[in-house]
Structure 1
């Protein structure tokens, strides 16, 4: 006896409706909702594209290889989500901000949760390599008031485009990482090294897909931030160099116009003496505005 919830036999015309109807007894309403949407859009895509049997098998092989490339240290499916813009879309949906609050972007795979607390103004570049860079700004609320006691977790690549965890034994542990806490005036400042662009891992199926699509694997130079304070939403974000060669074509779509900050080269002798450095340096000034906790 047929189930009254089933919508008849499968045909090309009613394919999605029939498959969705088979899920009527799903034990979780959210799962049923999500699967219904996936099935409808996937079937619509297949009807639009009309892949050959050979093309569909190539798609299955690609997904299989993507799974085989993933392990405890690398998640090729996250990489696929990144290059298709899905990671940034999920981030945007889950981090809608009130007007005036700083925008978020993706966390990335190189955050280390136990970076050391450092005194404000410290130099996080432990090996002294690269071009000196002074980063400073304020942590504010949406009304422009300074936020005291904000925790600022920062990390960045070196001038070769590598994070410390990618070069164990070459870079010191916790190189170009640090945690700072603002005082009453909400200001922050620290020294680092000017970062550079770098490629996402492109030696797997996702990298080959990018090549076939005529796309490069590079991310523009940026600094990572996590900013937290009591009574405010946690902010995961970057600041970007607007003059970077890849600023308009980030491989993972993480760039937002509001997160660009001028990397200005300071060559004025008076400023150099005042900052106590031995030559020209870069200065980056950027304020972050936190949204009130919901």
Structure 2
């Protein structure tokens, strides 16, 4: 006698088998594993047709709101923890190398060259950021490209303003001794964009859209694994409440020291893992 379980399993097996002739082995592995897990989810929760329709509508809306300045799918990946899990899988711990965290949806290619000591021109409490780039043996890494970007004091990135401004972002290169410095602003907590499908998802699940205050870095150099990370502000109350994209790591929480002139100062020493 054929059971309901048999019927469901037969369909899963049939769909998995349909990808058996995929020429690229990795593509075949991904498609077959995705099919098995997706079907297992549908069967586990006994997904209704109405729920399936709403899921399709949700993904359609996510696509519609995405453009060259807003990536709602990355935002969705972030709030589901998929971004951080992918980072964990692809950035295995290596000695004392700096930990990686989420890329976020607001990186922009071809940021301006600000140079060492330069200003990325964001509005807020001025902050001098100093540090070095070294390998895991402590040797300086000269000429490393350091991309930085951050929100302004109102919690917005330049691309969220809808005009052509370029602020709060730039790139520079480490000096022969591995050192670098630039001027930005002290980060403040801000909500991720919550006026779209991802925001509706957070509201439905009674989750906060707030991110802990942070400053983005992407550091790359020949022979080393590219590092995408943030630094967070020690004492930020949002650290205790939680980060909406699960990006906080204790090693990345840094002390921003107040200066007599009202500015702040922070040090961030980057340690790059070798390319493997």
Q: TM-score range by the shorter chain?
A: 0.7 to 0.9
Task: Kindly state the Cα deviation for residue 168 of structure 1 after the two structures are TM-superposed.
Answer: 5.6
Task: Kindly state the Cα deviation for residue 201 of structure 1 after the two structures are TM-superposed.
Answer: 1.8
Task: Kindly state the Cα deviation for residue 135 of structure 1 after the two structures are TM-superposed.
Answer: 1.2
Q: How far, CA to CA, are the matches of 1:203 and 1:245 in structure 2?
A: 24
Give the length in aligned residue pairs.
Answer: 271
Whether contact under 8 Å (1:131, 1:281) holds in the other structure is: yes
Task: Kindly state the Cα deviation for residue 223 of structure 1 after the two structures are TM-superposed.
Answer: 0.9
The equivalent of 2:170 in structure 1 is 178
The equivalent of 1:263 in structure 2 is 256
Q: How far, CA to CA, are the matches of 1:100 and 1:234 in structure 2?
A: 15
**Residue correspondence of structure 1 range 138-153 to structure 2 within 5 A:** 138-153=132-147
Q: How far, CA to CA, are the matches of 2:151 and 2:11 in structure 1?
A: 49
1:104 matched to 2:100? The reply is yes
Task: Kindly state the Cα deviation for residue 212 of structure 1 after the two structures are TM-superposed.
Answer: 0.5
Tell me the SS of whatever aligns to 1:286.
strand
Computing the radius of gyration from Cα coordinates, the structure with the larger value is: 1
Tell me the SS of whatever aligns to 1:31.
helix
The equivalent of 1:270 in structure 2 is none
**Residue correspondence of structure 1 range 107-256 to structure 2 within 5 A:** 107-125=103-121, 129-167=123-161, 173-248=165-240, 249-256=242-249
Distance 1:230 1:73, change over 3 A: closer
Q: How far, CA to CA, are the matches of 2:40 and 2:227 in structure 1?
A: 37
Gaps of 5+ in 1: 1-8, 268-278
RMSD: 2.4
Whether contact under 8 Å (2:78, 2:104) holds in the other structure is: no
Tell me the SS of whatever aligns to 2:137.
coil
2:25 to 7, 23, 29: 29
Cα deviation code 1:27-78 (max 9, x no counterpart): 4332322122112112222222123333333223322332333344433322
Whether contact under 8 Å (1:10, 1:18) holds in the other structure is: no
Q: How far, CA to CA, are the matches of 1:75 and 1:234 in structure 2?
A: 22
Q: How far, CA to CA, are the matches of 2:27 and 2:112 in structure 1?
A: 41
Tell me the SS of whatever aligns to 1:161.
coil
Distance 1:20 1:10, change over 3 A: farther
What TM-score does the superposition give when structure 1 sets the normalisation length? Answer: 0.82
Distance 1:75 1:227, change over 3 A: closer
Distance 1:81 1:283, change over 3 A: same
Q: How far, CA to CA, are the matches of 2:99 and 2:223 in structure 1?
A: 18
Distance 1:179 1:18, change over 3 A: closer
Q: How far, CA to CA, are the matches of 1:222 and 1:35 in structure 2?
A: 36
